[in-house]
Amino acid sequence: MNKLSRDEVAHLARLARLAVTDEELDVFAGQLDVILDAVARVGDAAAEDVAPTTHAVPMTNVFRPDVVTPCLPRDVVLSQAPAAEDDRFRVPRILGEEA
């Protein structure tokens, strides 16, 4: 793998709008080389015969099926609300729209 030069690290720092000292450029160049080497090794993994997965272990649906059940009466629900108006929950205006 190619080593990053101080100029390349300085360019990356400028792109990221980071102020770095000369000493930090040397430290970051070494650290970025280690990171780039690790990423390159991941790309070299033999994974042609491995099927893509979204989870490391098999997943099963643990949710119960939806079943329609009676709901609470509107007046009972609204009686527990902090504020109600015209048979609806009253909430603070957030968009500044006209009523």
3-state secondary structure of 66: coil
**Residue 69 pLDDT level (bands cut at 50, 70, 90):** very high
Within 10 Å of residue 9's Cβ, how many Cβ atoms? 21
Whether 87 maps to a domain, the answer reads: no
3-state secondary structure of 10: helix
CA atoms within 13 A on the CB side of 99: 4
Return the top range by mean pLDDT from 51-55, 73-77, 93-97.
Answer: 73-77
Q: Can you tell me the distance from the alpha carbon of 36 to that of 42, in angstroms, rounded to the nearest whole number?
A: 10
Residue 33 CB partners (closer than 8 Å, separation 6+): 1, 3, 4
Whether 81 maps to a domain, the answer reads: no
Number of folded domains that form the chain: 1
In this predicted model, what pLDDT tens digit does every residue of 44-68 receive, in sequence order?
887 788 777 888 888 888 888 889 9
Contact of 55 with 62, CB cutoff 8 Å: no
Whether 92 maps to a domain, the answer reads: no
Q: 25: domain range?
A: 6-43
Whether 94 maps to a domain, the answer reads: no
Tell me the two tokens of residue 37.
């080497």
